[in-house]
Amino acid sequence: MNASLAEALSVALLLAVLACAVVRPWGWPEAVVAVPAAGVVIATGAISLDHAAAEAARLGPVIGFLAAVLVLAQLCDDEGLFHACGAWMARRAAGRPRRLLVLVFVIASLITAVLSLDATVVLLTPVVFATAARLGARAKPHVYACTHLSNTASLLLPVSNLTNLLAFAASGLTFTRFAALMALPWLAAIGAEYVVIRRFFAADLDAGAQTPPTDAPRELPLFALVTVAGTLAGFVLTSALGIDPAWAAAAGAAVLAARALARRRATPTAIVRSAALPFCAFVLALGIVVRAVVDNGLANALSHLVPGGTSLPSLLAIAALAAALANIINNLPAVLVLLPLTAPTSPGAVLAVLLGVNIGPNLTYAGSLATLLWRRIVREHDTDVALGEFTRLGLLAVPATLLLAVAALWTSLQAIGG
């Protein structure tokens, strides 16, 4: 196949895969189109078999990690961790919507960082709906906080987002060094989001709420908390020893799974289902299709736009390019495209890409799969999310958050090195 035809075919298939992921016709899993598309680019020679195998080998550990973390998050939910968080927020809010917003920011940021953005979108968002209803507060500010923080607050750890896992593998950083460099950008981004959301929804936050609930506090699931803490310690240890952190995630998931099976709170089928294997297949297939697009010309086109060096203007340009690309082709393909172009520069350039692809998706629905999933969950709760409102909030939040986060990253790089 000649280069022009291979490029056209690869781009067409990538657009079809992304369209299916966004629309999900007839409720199909994302993999229904992605897996055949990957087969087509291999069969037609749009990507060589060696490059497809290399991409699969690169993504394999990342996908295994993703599956383990999804199981861990679901089992934590089964243990009652998220409902306990909701009860704690309701008590601490004391009937004040503004205080509830602060608590949602705290809980959503921690859950996103430790258990990944999927846990915040899928498991915490319904709890936030219930907590707001319990207090008689308007749900919109708190629910919007969930979607923005599922993206923005996923900057801290390699485990927080699939994009982080890919960037972590490309950066060459250890787990602790990654977290140290991203801690200040994480705090700056969360702070910027809080200021924007609080001002944007000022009228909703000033609306009425009821007196705080007086029911007995829900007991914290200590076993789940200890397991999560042990898993985080395992991430640090395995990274220091040069072992893939996926093993630590698998160990944490196995501990909670064994407990759930022993207590008959879950079945083997339910545990396997929580690993989201069709989505994992989608990620692998998407990676192969994106690699075909990169091999057939996109890398050369973008290489002229990616600046060299890690000066503040260079980092800002890299992050802005990543944010724009995330909103055009979704953040997962964007990071797959940009990492090979920035990894040879420095870890700082890789982290700038991560800022763009994690913060940028708050601008449009199509920016990340998490945002699309959040929209479906919100609609299931009979709440209207207007496209104009979502976009206006994004236009206010994304530029300010990205600018502050990049400046914080540059400061971290100057102080710590990278």
What does the pLDDT read at residue 401? Answer: 97
261 band by pLDDT with thresholds 50, 70 and 90: very high
Domains identified in the chain, total number: 1
Contacts of 409 (CB under 8 A, 6+ apart): 181, 182, 184, 185, 315, 348, 351, 352, 355
Give percent of the chain above pLDDT 70: 96
Give the separation between CA 337 and CA 295, rounded to whole angstroms.
Answer: 10
What does the pLDDT read at residue 214? Answer: 56
The H-or-E segment that residue 75 falls in is helix 49-78
pLDDT, one tens digit per residue, over 125-162 is 888 988 888 888 888 999 999 999 999 999 999 888 88
Supply 269's token pair. 């089928």
What does the pLDDT read at residue 418? Answer: 63
What does the pLDDT read at residue 216? Answer: 57
What does the pLDDT read at residue 102? Answer: 95
Question: Are the beta carbons of 306 and 257 closer than 8 angstroms?
Answer: no
Look at the alpha carbons of 28, 31, 34, 38 in this order and tell me if their dihedral is positive or negative.
Answer: negative
Question: Are the beta carbons of 289 and 9 closer than 8 angstroms?
Answer: no
SS3 label, residue 256: helix
94 or 140, which is more confident: 140
Interaxial angle between packed helices 125-135 and 369-380, expressed in degrees from 0 to 180 and rounded to the nearest 10: 40
Distance linking the first and last C-alpha atoms of the chain: 42
Q: Residue 371's closest CA among 363, 114, 70?
A: 363
Q: What is the extent of the structural domain holding 73? A: 3-416
Region 196-205 average pLDDT: 94
DSSP 312-342: HHHHHHHHHHHHHHHHHH-HHHHHHHHHHHH
pLDDT, one tens digit per residue, over 350-407 is 999 999 999 999 998 778 878 877 877 787 776 767 878 999 999 999 999 999 999 9
What does the pLDDT read at residue 208? Answer: 62
| Residue in the structure block whose two tokens are 């979108």 | 121
Region 82-87 average pLDDT: 86
Burial class (CB in 10 A: 0-12, 13-18, 19+), 415: exposed
pLDDT, one tens digit per residue, over 163-199 is 998 899 889 898 899 999 999 999 999 999 999 999 9
| Residue in the structure block whose two tokens are 């909701």 | 86
pLDDT, one tens digit per residue, over 43-55 is 999 999 999 999 8
pTM of the model: 0.83
Give the separation between CA 265 and CA 74, rounded to whole angstroms.
Answer: 12
Burial class (CB in 10 A: 0-12, 13-18, 19+), 106: middle
SS3 content of the chain, % helix, strand, coil (to 5): 80, 0, 20
The H-or-E segment that residue 223 falls in is helix 222-241
